[in-house]
Amino acid sequence: MVSLPTYRIEAPDTLFIELLQVIPRPPYRIEAYDVLQIQVAGTMVGQPINGYYLVEGEGIVTLGPAYGTVRIMGMTIDEATEEITRQLQVILQHPAVSVQFSRSGAIQMVTGLYPVASDGTVNLRRYGMVRVAGKTVTEARLAVQQQLAQYFESPRVGLDIRIFNSKKYYVITAGAGTGDMIQPFPIMGTETVLDAIARLQGMSQISSKTMWVARATPADKGDENILPVNFVAITYGMTETNYQLMPGDRLYIVDDNLVAANNFLNKLTQPIERLLNISNLGIDAVRSAQTTGRLYNLTRSGI
């Protein structure tokens, strides 16, 4: 086994992007799913307001059964403090309210799976498009951080490839004269010939044990790179020809000679059989017409 070259992201890979830490740029206005730390002095006995409160999707925070809800979405921290104070003054005499920003709802909004589009970009929704095609994981992570830096102070981002779709190997199964079948499989970096055959759930009834790996070579070289596979040996645990598959490799499985010969003869004789059947149908039709004519003539003659 060897390590593959550094993976370059391409369409249609799927990335997992996680926003680990963000500090909103001032002046920040509260959004849905933000988390605020709210502390109030002078509350009712047994009904404190002291903790972390989620701004719900409707733009409100729920302070508890005794105090109800306050709509604060779109406000600054100072405006939210004034609004909470104004509402609590209806219930409490001299509430002292402190509101601090704790966590941005953008973490929840940004974190998720992102397919790489055909133009090589990922769509961060309200935070714009980022080109990631051709980049390594590290380069793509820095590109996403740079994009989010337009909206946040020093954002920290985690990025990983969740679904490998752009790098493939191919298994070509000869069809014994009935057409070859080609199946692509995404490459993860550790696949071998035996793994590829296992993905097929074994050999088909028309396949032989003759196979090879055709490895892609640069166009300017023009030489074939064929690696013969000893199927029996690798099933017995001998790993010499159980090659590690690389992106672009073709595993070609040859068809069985007897099955191929039988299919060839069937294709050769079927047109002749059709012609004979058509000829027999014509003869039967003529005989039927002659018999019907004789019976008709005998009936007219009164015989």
- pLDDT tens by residue, 183-215: 999 888 789 999 998 988 877 777 888 899 998
How far apart, in Å, are the Cα atoms of 171 and each of 94, 194, 235, 245?
76, 12, 18, 11
Domain ranges of the chain: 14-23+107-163, 32-103, 168-257
Q: What is the pLDDT of residue 8?
A: 92
Q: What is the pLDDT of residue 260?
A: 56
Q: Would you tell me how many other CB atoms lie within 10 Å of the CB of residue 41?
A: 13
- Decide if 14-23+107-163 and 32-103 have a common fold: yes
How large is the C-alpha radius of gyration of the chain?
37
Alpha helices in the chain (DSSP H): 77-88, 106-110, 137-148, 193-199, 231-235, 257-300
Q: Which residue has better confidence, 176 or 214? A: 214
In the structure, what pLDDT confidence band is assigned to residue 267 with cuts at 50, 70 and 90? low
Q: Which residue has better confidence, 194 or 290? A: 194
Rounded CA-CA distance 33/106 in Å is 8
Q: What is the pLDDT of residue 100?
A: 92
Quick one: three-class SS letters along 123-191?
A: ECHHHCEEECCCCCHHHHHHHHHHHHCCCEEEEEEEEEEEECCCCEEEEEECCCCCCCEEEEEECCCCC
Q: Which residue has better confidence, 217 or 11? A: 11
Please give the structure tokens belonging to residue 270.
């079927």
Identity of the amino acid at 70: V
- pLDDT tens by residue, 101-125: 888 888 888 899 999 999 999 999 8
The architecture (CATH level 2) of 32-103 comes to 2-Layer Sandwich (3.30)
* Mean predicted lDDT score pLDDT of the chain: 85
Roughly how many angstroms between the first and final C-alpha of the chain, as a whole number?
A: 94
Q: Which CATH number fits domain 168-257: 3.10.560.10, 1.20.120.420, 1.10.10.10, 3.40.640.10?
A: 3.10.560.10
pLDDT of residue 298 exceeding 60: no
Whether cis (ω within 30° of 0) applies to the bond prior to 27 is yes
Average pLDDT over residues 12-40: 89
Q: What is the pLDDT of residue 117?
A: 95
Q: Closest by alpha carbon to 9, among 164, 186, 170?
A: 164
Q: Which residue carries 């009904």 as its tokens?
A: 47
Task: Specify the pairing of strand 35-41 against strand 96-103.
Answer: antiparallel
- pLDDT tens by residue, 219-250: 666 667 899 999 999 988 888 999 999 888 99
pLDDT of residue 150 exceeding 60: yes
Q: Would you tell me how many other CB atoms lie within 10 Å of the CB of residue 253?
A: 24
Rounded CA-CA distance 195/24 in Å is 48
Q: Which CATH superfamily is domain 14-23+107-163 in?
A: wza like domain (3.30.1950.10)
Strand partners, 100: 37
Identity of the amino acid at 23: I
